[in-house]
Amino acid sequence: MSGLSWLWLVPALPFVGFLLNGLLGRRLGRGMVRAVACGVMLAAALVTSFLVALPILGGNLGDPGEHGSVTVHDMNRDGVGDAAEIVLWQWIEAGAKQGQAPAGGGQFLSALSIPFGFHVDGLTVVMMLVITWIGFLIHVYASSYMWDDDGYWRFFAYLNLFVSMMLILVMGSSFVMMFVGWEGVGLCSYLLIGFYFKQEVPPTAGMKAFLVNRVGDFGFLLGMLLLMLTFGSLRYSELIPRVEAAGGYVGTNLALLTALLLFVGACGKSAQLPLHVWLPDAMAGPTPVSALIHAATMVTAGVYLVIRGNAIFQASPTASLVIAVVGVATALLAATIALVQNDLKKILAYSTVSQLGYMFLAVGTGAYVAGLFHLVTHAFFKALLFLGAGSVSHGLHGELDIRKMGGLKKVMPHTHRVMLVATLAIAGFPGLSGFFSKDEILASAVGSAFGPSVVWALWGAGILTAVLTSFYMFRLYFRTFSGEPRWSDGVHAHESPWLMLGPLYVLAFLSVVGGFLNLPHYITHTRFLEAVISPCLCHAGALLTEFHVPHGLLEAALVAAAVGAFALGLFLAWSWYAKGSETPQRLAERHSTIHGLLSGKWRIDEIYAALFVEPFRRLCDWASSFDRWVVDGLVELTGIGTTLAGEIFRHVSSGRVRTYALAVFIGAVGLTLWLMSGRGISQLLGYFTAAIG
Amino acid sequence: MFPAELPLLPAPAMLTLALALFCVGACGVLLRRNAIIVFACIEMMMNSANLAFVTMADVWGQAEGRLFVFFIIIVAAAEAAVGLGIVIALHRLHGSVDLDRASLMRG
Amino acid sequence: MSDFIPQGLPYLLQPTVLFQVLFGLLALGSALAVVTRRNPVAAVAWLVVHFVATAALYLLMNAQFLAMVQVLVYAGAIIVLFLFVIMLLQVDQQPSLGAESGAGRKVLVIAASLAFVGLFISMASCACRMGFDIPSSGVPASTRDTIQWLVRPLFEEHLVAFELSSILLVAAMAGVLVFTTRRQAVTAEPGDA
């Protein structure tokens, strides 16, 4: 209990690291910067593990109610405390005070009160553990990988800030707090994608990521406002019970709109169709950034949002179906693009988009546990893949084109070993983490509450994606590590230092055993993740009550299909790439249209350019010419008028003294004549007569 | 010096004389190019003003009328000194006292 | 004193009136001469005549102090200044700078003449409407004669203005010194230093 009052330390520690490195980093020196950055991460990870995770995962939060600064909630209403909330200070307060009747009426209309506080439960703890521990490993890796970079301290300042913001995102006690972290990680993502700001591509990619995310954030904000209007609060501890208790809310258009708007936000952050275009470009950032932000943590924020707000999404099964369809479509589309890419990191980026699509398929079908499960295992093996890719490019002097690799098995034995593990894990080798999580997602798709045709369509697309995943991952593996070396001249490939390999081995271990977090029913019924996040789920929701876990023959068939998908992809990749077959070239030449479409990323960037960028640019051109011709024209007209007037009147100023004198005299005479005439003269006469008389 | 109550010309006659002198001086200012003569004409114009002041001082029986003549003479002396200084500077600049050549301020 | 003046003479033949007319005409004539003489020395000489005639007019109007100041300051100091400048600059030997003829000059002459004819007519008509029989003020000539009548207000009510006029004179003197002194630094060749 007392440990939870130190909860604020978890985001505060990386923030202190950010302040130290950001303000003093230039003077501290690389060793100190490394010590600060990795130290705060280790401290945050340890605080998370021992002060936060132990009481919550151990289930000994105590009875619901206030315990000092910590309030224990019973979100599940089973009489056992399952979530802790700690309010640091009242942040935004407006409207009537607590206890006063609202003037406008309405069921939940009350004072707006948003505290700056944290809400931790099983879901939060899982996210926090992933963020802090994987974050720590990636920090250690990056401290060696980035050693020669001039912006060493700047890099770690941003990275620490990112971790702090990501923790606020998952720990925040309300959607507003989540939005704070949401924008914070967006900012860090922008800064880190554009980290090599002296090159041409990275800053543009950063801006693209930021702009595309704005579209999503707009939806997120609108969804939050709708929730606020409907339920009067954005605090999870108030909002979620109100949503669950709202009888007439389920299935309404309002519920659909709210859920879809929130999902637009999730789409932006998690790179789902149609807002996925920024993530592949984000690979312009340093590789540890790709591993931490664009694979393991930030991009999963959308999945976290859906799981956190599962009560809201379950209130609208239509919205959930939309999520599932978008997710599986993204998965399939990204996988097809990944088939033909040649850039190591681009392949992994599309793979990430694809795997995120799996997660959305899961949460869309109501398999929130499976979604979180895949989130965690994906964080393990995708971080490992990115870090391994970083190790490869480190050893090849920055080379990322898989056509110029090959034969690295002998030169980089350690990197090869961990990359093989990661590839097996993501491709779904039975027994490894990716196999269990992906299998659970596909099984959940079959068991979901939608109609049979929808269910099998979702499963079919999912299993097809699994085949493609297995294929493109092994294509990457064979092209990189086996065969003859195809390196550029002058490249002396070498293995990376142990400071980089250490985290790789840890992640490889996690990729292997990650599946034990949530073993399938046919192995054991002690499912750790399910038990942990079960209190966060709305079990009365439409999706969960009608959820049927496949059993018996059907389950066995599904597992067999998953294994078959893995084997098929592996066999194709092995026969085409491991032995240097001509088949890929032949296929590409025969179906050049399809190949061009795939390597052109389905031309989505071009479509967006034509639909949005070009009209906007034309609008800008129009505004620019309006400014140039009308606004500037008015200004210049003033100038021309002044010049013309000067041209006319300058002749008056002849410089001849006597002309001026003449003007003065004419004026004086005119004045006198005016005085002499009419009223002037009578007045003057009046003076005279008065003086005389 | 003279008998106190001698008949004199009426005030309007003297004013008309002052006006005539003023006009003659003004014409000189406008028509002559020689800076020295222009200054002489300005002195004459002031002189005509003095004459009008003295006349009206007698008409209204106020000493200030004559007093102002005194001040105007002071100003005229100062103005003559400054003006002739300007003429010298002008001559130094252009080698002549032709006012039409002092047209540097032409727009 | 009045038996000094022969009685029964017509108004215009009264000696004071006669002298006023004569000196008035002299002042007018000499003014015309100042404007029309081409030679600046001659013009300045006519200016002396003009000032002396005016002084005589003051004298006839019982303003003896002003007449004296007029002669001292105008006919004396200022005229000497004029002559001094003429000699210093040797303007009399330069080509004549009279009212030359030219298109623009003609316009100027016509405009100036019209303006002053208008001015003269209007003012003169005004003076005529006043009538020529304005009596002199109630202040007796014997009072107007005295220097006290003039000087008492000068040193009582107008003392500040009187003192300020001395500052004006000093300022004018200083100003003339400033802009008539040759600036060696400006005119000197750089190599002289």
> Using the beta-carbon criterion (under 8 Å), do C32 and B24 form an inter-chain contact?
yes
Closest chain A residue by Cα to residue B101: A656
Across the interface, of B60, B99, B106, the residue whose CB is closest to A658 is B99
Rounded to whole angstroms, what are the CA distances from A542 to A319, A320, A457? 12, 10, 21
Enter the pTM of the model. 0.69
> Using the beta-carbon criterion (under 8 Å), do B44 and C139 form an inter-chain contact?
no
What's the pLDDT score for residue A481? Answer: 87
Question: Which chain A residues touch C108 with a CB distance below 8 Å?
Answer: 658-659, 662
Question: Which chain A residues touch B104 with a CB distance below 8 Å?
Answer: 655
**CA distance to partner chain C, nearest, from residue A648 (Å):** 19
**CA distance to partner chain B, nearest, from residue A634 (Å):** 27
pLDDT confidence of C164, banded at 50, 70, 90? very high
Cβ count near C164 (within 10 Å): 13
The answer, for C19 touching chain B at a CB cutoff of 8 Å, is no
Closest chain B residue by Cα to residue A648: B107
pLDDT of residue C188 exceeding 50, the answer is: no
Nearest to B25 by CA among B13, B42, B12: B42
Across the interface, of A646, A655, A692, the residue whose CB is closest to B104 is A655
Residues 6 or more apart whose CB falls under 8 angstroms from that of A592 comprise none
Residue A136 and residue A41 in contact, taking contact as beta carbons nearer than 8 Å: yes
Across the interface, of A662, A673, A677, the residue whose CB is closest to C111 is A662
Q: Tell me the sheet residues that pair with A71.
A: A66, A85
Written as one string, the DSSP assignment of A595-646 is HHHHHTGGGHHHHHIIIIIHHHHHHHHHHHHHIIIIIHHHHHHHHHHHHHHH
Q: Tell me the sheet residues that pair with A116.
A: A89
> Using the beta-carbon criterion (under 8 Å), do C14 and B81 form an inter-chain contact?
no
| Interatomic CA distance for residues A281 and A289, integer angstroms | 13
Question: Which chain B residues touch A649 with a CB distance below 8 Å?
Answer: 107
| Interatomic CA distance for residues C130 and C128, integer angstroms | 5
Give CA C20 to chain center in angstroms: 17
**CA distance to partner chain B, nearest, from residue C127 (Å):** 5
Q: What is the DSSP letter of A402?
A: G
**CA distance to partner chain A, nearest, from residue C131 (Å):** 11
User: Contacts from A37-41 at CB under 8 Å and sequence distance 24+?
Assistant: A37/A139, A37/A143, A37/A156, A37/A159, A37/A160, A38/A136, A38/A139, A38/A140, A38/A143, A40/A13, A40/A14, A40/A16, A40/A160, A41/A13, A41/A14, A41/A17, A41/A132, A41/A135, A41/A136, A41/A139, A41/A160, A41/A163
Cβ count near C178 (within 10 Å): 10
pLDDT of residue C191 exceeding 50, the answer is: no
Chains that touch C (3 or more CB pairs under 8 A): A, B
Across the interface, of A662, A676, A677, the residue whose CB is closest to C112 is A662
What's the pLDDT score for residue A688? Answer: 63
Look up tokens 């950032």; give the residue.
A285
Across the interface, of A666, A672, A688, the residue whose CB is closest to C122 is A672
Residue A601 and residue A336 in contact, taking contact as beta carbons nearer than 8 Å: no
> Using the beta-carbon criterion (under 8 Å), do B100 and A658 form an inter-chain contact?
yes
Chain A and chain C share a number of CB contacts under 8 A equal to 33
The answer, for A671 touching chain C at a CB cutoff of 8 Å, is no
Rounded to an integer, the average pLDDT of C149-174 is 89
The answer, for C139 touching chain B at a CB cutoff of 8 Å, is yes
> In the numeric block, which tokens belong to residue A103?
């003037």
| Interatomic CA distance for residues C57 and A311, integer angstroms | 117
Burial status of residue A483 (CB atoms within 10 A of its CB: 0-12, 13-18, 19 or more): middle
* pLDDT single digits (tens) C93-105: 555 545 455 566 6
Q: Which of C97, C109, C110 is the best mutation test for B, with the most CBs of B within 10 A?
A: C97
Closest chain B residue by Cα to residue A650: B107
The answer, for A23 touching chain C at a CB cutoff of 8 Å, is no
ipTM over 0.85: yes
> In the numeric block, which tokens belong to residue A213?
């995310």
Closest chain A residue by Cα to residue C133: A692
Across the interface, of B12, B40, B86, the residue whose CB is closest to C34 is B40
Question: Which chain C residues touch B43 with a CB distance below 8 Å?
Answer: 47, 74, 78
> Using the beta-carbon criterion (under 8 Å), do B107 and A654 form an inter-chain contact?
yes
Window 34-93 of C, Cβ < 8 Å to B: 34-35, 37, 40, 43-44, 47, 50-51, 54, 57-66, 69-70, 73-74, 77-78, 81-82, 85-86, 88-89, 91
Question: Which chain A residues touch C135 with a CB distance below 8 Å?
Answer: 692
What's the pLDDT score for residue A380? Answer: 93
Within chain C, residue ranges assigned H as helices are 15-36, 40-60, 64-69, 79-89, 103-130, 141-145, 147-156, 159-180, 184-187
**CA distance to partner chain A, nearest, from residue C119 (Å):** 6
Q: Which of C113, C126, C134, C137 is the best mutation test for A, with the most CBs of A within 10 A?
A: C126
User: Contacts from C97-102 at CB under 8 Å and sequence distance 24+?
Assistant: C97/B32, C97/B33, C97/B34, C97/B37, C97/B96, C97/B97, C97/B98, C97/C38, C98/B32, C98/B33, C98/B34, C98/C38, C99/B31, C99/B32, C99/B33, C100/B33
> Using the beta-carbon criterion (under 8 Å), do C161 and B71 form an inter-chain contact?
yes
**CA distance to partner chain B, nearest, from residue C93 (Å):** 11
| Interatomic CA distance for residues A3 and B30, integer angstroms | 103
| Interatomic CA distance for residues C112 and C92, integer angstroms | 27
| Interatomic CA distance for residues A311 and A242, integer angstroms | 10
Angle, in degrees to the nearest 10, between helices A152-171 and A135-145: 170
What's the pLDDT score for residue C190? Answer: 47
> Using the beta-carbon criterion (under 8 Å), do A688 and C130 form an inter-chain contact?
yes
Running along chain A, 693 residues long, what does each successive block of 10 average in pLDDT? 78 92 87 90 89 80 79 78 85 64 47 84 90 93 89 91 94 92 93 90 90 91 90 86 82 90 92 88 89 89 92 89 93 91 90 93 90 93 92 84 82 90 91 89 85 88 93 90 80 83 92 87 81 82 75 85 91 84 82 82 85 91 93 93 90 76 81 67 64 60
> Using the beta-carbon criterion (under 8 Å), do A654 and B103 form an inter-chain contact?
yes
Residues 6 or more apart whose CB falls under 8 angstroms from that of A588 comprise A340, A595
> Using the beta-carbon criterion (under 8 Å), do B40 and C43 form an inter-chain contact?
yes
Burial status of residue A215 (CB atoms within 10 A of its CB: 0-12, 13-18, 19 or more): middle
The answer, for B64 touching chain C at a CB cutoff of 8 Å, is yes
Closest chain A residue by Cα to residue B105: A655
Instruction: Tell me how long chain C is.
Output: 193
Rounded to an integer, the average pLDDT of C18-25 is 91
The answer, for A673 touching chain C at a CB cutoff of 8 Å, is yes
What's the pLDDT score for residue A106? Answer: 45
> Using the beta-carbon criterion (under 8 Å), do B25 and C44 form an inter-chain contact?
no
| Interatomic CA distance for residues A320 and A263, integer angstroms | 9
What's the pLDDT score for residue C36? Answer: 84
* pLDDT single digits (tens) C56-68: 999 888 888 889 9
> Using the beta-carbon criterion (under 8 Å), do A655 and B99 form an inter-chain contact?
no
Nearest to A266 by CA among A199, A218, A334, A337: A218
Helix (H, G, I), strand (E, B) or coil at A226: helix
Residue A193 and residue A282 in contact, taking contact as beta carbons nearer than 8 Å: yes
Question: Which chain C residues touch A658 with a CB distance below 8 Å?
Answer: 108
Window 495-554 of A, Cβ < 8 Å to C: none
| CA atoms A369, A374, A379, A380: torsion sign | positive
